[in-house]
Amino acid sequence: MSKGLAGQVIADTSRSRVDGQKGELLYHGYNIMDLGANSSFEEVAYLMWNSEYPNAEQLAAFKAEMAGMRTIPAELMSIMKSLPTGGHPVAVLRTMVSMLSLVDADAENIEVEAAKQKAMKIAAVMPTIVAAWQQIRNGNEPVAPRADLDHAANFLYMLNGEEATPEAVAAVDTYLVLLVDHGFNASTFSARVTTGTLSDMYSAITTAIGTLKGPAHGGATQKAMEQFIAAKDAGVEAWFNESMETGRRIMGIGHRVYKVEDPRAKIFRPLAENLAKQSEEGHWFDISLQVEQLARANQFFIERNLFPNVDYYSAPVLYMIGIPMDQFTSLFAMSRVIGWSSHVLEQLANNRLIRPLAQYVGPEGLTVPK
């Protein structure tokens, strides 16, 4: 038995292939380096749900349909406005996605076409929830979505109440493309386990958001940015040495599968570097680069094949375009919902309850005291 199921293949999938030795990631046969440079979020969403790349006509119809699903239902918006503001924004997103099922009279339907529609609805409305919460917790009225803007552009518009620069839109779009899917990562696995019980799409996505939230998974981007801030305050080298002395992990470094550089880090590093050139916050790229260089020159990281993962440079990217740090994981969820739901559809098409065994190591033969 391997702790944490490391190295175990537990199902077939045609959704994405992760090669941890070569440092390669494919979605449905398309290399992430190609998709990251040339595709929009909507094109990749279409690919993941339909197992084919859209042509111009298919894409236009798909974009229009999805853009028409962005509004938060009125009954849920009024509940959202009454939620306590103290918790983590991902807890709000998890709660709101769960509540979406309450206003869908057909919520339990897991026929493929119905499930696909629900996936589109959830993915379309998630950015509205994230942006609305940002406004609500700051005491403002949520900004209504605009159907004339693409997914990434509309999200930034709702988040900030004004249209974003083309650079910021392109950066968020690339971010959303790169995070869509990644084999049997923990949150995808949890979505498939939920679906394995024949539960509904809303339950599967709610489960997955809860799993993504942890700092060993999607929560790492926020932690990575917090560490860059701590490193700046303490001095990068002093901070790094203290991390080594105390055994503090460098967030955004290391990966269960990749033993070479994560291919997505190869895209995010230059993206962060370019954004830094145009940003007053550009020093965050230099700090993250310095930490990486210190780590990669250190025997501990070299021996264990620890490289920056997807969360490392995406942290300064999101920070430099003004995404609040505690909303980083929400953006991850806005992207990964495509992968989760695509895996749910795959699970439904050939389902069997996922129910492994545990090896019991506790005591035996005890009796209740009389």
Q: Give the residue numbers annotated as catalytic, written as ranges.
A: 217, 255, 311
Least Å distance, CB 341 to ligand COA, is 20
Residue nearer to ligand COA on the CB measure, 4 or 369: 4
Least Å distance, CB 115 to ligand COA, is 27
The phi and psi torsions of 349 (rounded to 5 degrees) equal -70, -20
Least Å distance, CB 94 to ligand COA, is 19
Residue nearer to ligand COA on the CB measure, 253 or 345: 253
Residue nearer to ligand COA on the CB measure, 81 or 304: 304
Residue nearer to ligand COA on the CB measure, 121 or 264: 264
Residue 88 buriedness (CB in 10 A; 0-12 / 13-18 / 19+): middle
Q: Applying CB under 6 A, which residues contact ligand COA?
A: 4, 216, 220, 249-256, 304, 306, 309-311
Residue nearer to ligand COA on the CB measure, 114 or 287: 287
Least Å distance, CB 172 to ligand COA, is 19
Residue nearest to ligand COA (CB): 254
Least Å distance, CB 268 to ligand COA, is 12
Least Å distance, CB 323 to ligand COA, is 18
Residue nearer to ligand COA on the CB measure, 2 or 350: 2
